[in-house]
Amino acid sequence: MQSRPSFSVVIPVHDRAGELMSCLQALCEVEPPDGGFEVIVVDDGSATVPETAAFAQRLNLLRLRNQERCRPAAARNRGGRHARGTHLAFLDADCLPEPGWLVALQAGMARFPEGALLGGCTLDGCPENRYSAASHQILDVVNGFYNQDSDQARFFPATNLAVPAQLFEAAGGFREDFFTSEDREFCDRWLRLGHRMAAAPEARVRHVHPVNMRAFLRRHFGYGQGAYRFHRLRALRDQQGLRLAPPGFYLRLFGHPLAAGLGPRALEMEALVLLSQAASTAGFLWQAARAIAVGKNVASEGQR
């Protein structure tokens, strides 16, 4: 009987065949942790099916295919259900893990025998792209604000996240009705269940996803939609009103490009951070208006 690998690396992908090939090639260079690892690619309704046969044996790779697009949360959950590993390591198709990535995650897991969710370090893989650079400026602020105590962290994105497989299943996985911010909701639920979150800064990946202005705005509009869903769900759980981030977070966010010593590029980054938050606010308000409209329609139907 084949033993369970220590890690199952789960990668959701939609129409990013080139990025996926680079990601799988980088995984071929990753130092195996004790117990080894497997890779599960969940092709989420791509128009063109990526060819992964060349990596099948080198990475102990399993490819799953969703005929219809189900979004990343559902794709990650499906990968988790098919995983054999003791731990799940979630990675995006446009991320390149460094050689010591899984060894660092394994060392982090060993520090917490009761089980913990670990967040690795995600670096900007294309800093020459202004929109990617601005998004990572925001990520730096989010990480510094929510994870001031690295052993008592509060949020990590799913681009570089690891968790014990049994605890992930017991927690219910990612909410599949969340198209964005599913990682934010999962981290909040994980903490509510009494589990620990901790940083694993040596588990490094490079996020290589250059975008243009349109994609940048669309992404942050989607983040705003997800933020509304998250805050609304948390308000229902806590039986109180919406609680947004405190003013100190936004002061740090808007001041970060200037404080980070970016030189002549600081003002450009400042403008893009402001633009991202305008797009996020628009997405938040749009989702709130949609929720109100749906509620009114439900109420009117009930009165008939």
> What 3 state SS string does 157-184 have?
CCCEEEEEHHHHHHHCCCCCCCCCCHHH
Residue at a domain's end among 178, 210, 242: 210
What's the CA gap between 199 and 153, in Å, rounded?
7
What's the CA gap between 151 and 157, in Å, rounded?
16
| The predicted structure's pLDDT at residue 275 | 97
| The predicted structure's pLDDT at residue 298 | 33
Q: Angle formed by the axes of helices 247-259 and 266-303, to 10°?
A: 150
> What is the phi/psi pair of residue 96, to 5°?
-115, 110
How many domains are contained in the chain?
A: 2
Q: 10, 91 in Cβ contact below 8 A?
A: yes
232 in the same domain as 168: no
Task: Indicate if the pLDDT at residue 57 is higher than 80.
Answer: yes
What's the CA gap between 110 and 108, in Å, rounded?
5
Task: Indicate if the pLDDT at residue 206 is higher than 90.
Answer: yes
More confident residue, 247 or 89: 89
Residue span of the structural domain in which 241 resides:
225-294
pLDDT (tens digit, 9 = 90+) per residue, 166-183? 999 999 999 999 989 999
Instruction: Report the share of the chain in percent with pLDDT over 90.
Output: 75
Residue listed under structure tokens 């893990």: 97
46 in the same domain as 116: yes
173 in the same domain as 67: yes
- Residue 2's pLDDT band, with cuts at 50, 70 and 90, is low
Least confident segment among 18-32, 148-162, 214-228, 233-247: 233-247
258 in the same domain as 189: no
180 in the same domain as 48: yes
pLDDT (tens digit, 9 = 90+) per residue, 61-85? 998 888 788 889 999 999 999 999 9
| The predicted structure's pLDDT at residue 303 | 38
| The predicted structure's pLDDT at residue 68 | 81
pTM of the model: 0.92
284 in the same domain as 146: no
pLDDT (tens digit, 9 = 90+) per residue, 82-123? 999 999 999 999 999 999 999 999 999 999 999 999 999 999
150 in the same domain as 229: no
pLDDT (tens digit, 9 = 90+) per residue, 268-280? 999 999 999 999 9
181 in the same domain as 88: yes
* Contact residues for 289 (Cβ-Cβ < 8 A; gap 6+): none
Task: Indicate if the pLDDT at residue 300 is higher than 70.
Answer: no
Among residues 212, 121, 115, the alpha carbon closest in space to that of 168 is found at: 115
- pLDDT, mean over the chain: 91
Task: Indicate if the pLDDT at residue 297 is higher than 60.
Answer: no
Supply the CATH number for residue 170's domain.
3.90.550.10
205 in the same domain as 155: yes
What's the CA gap between 263 and 254, in Å, rounded?
16
The region, left, alpha or beta by phi > 0 then psi within -120 to 50, assigned to residue 164 is beta
299 within domain boundaries: no
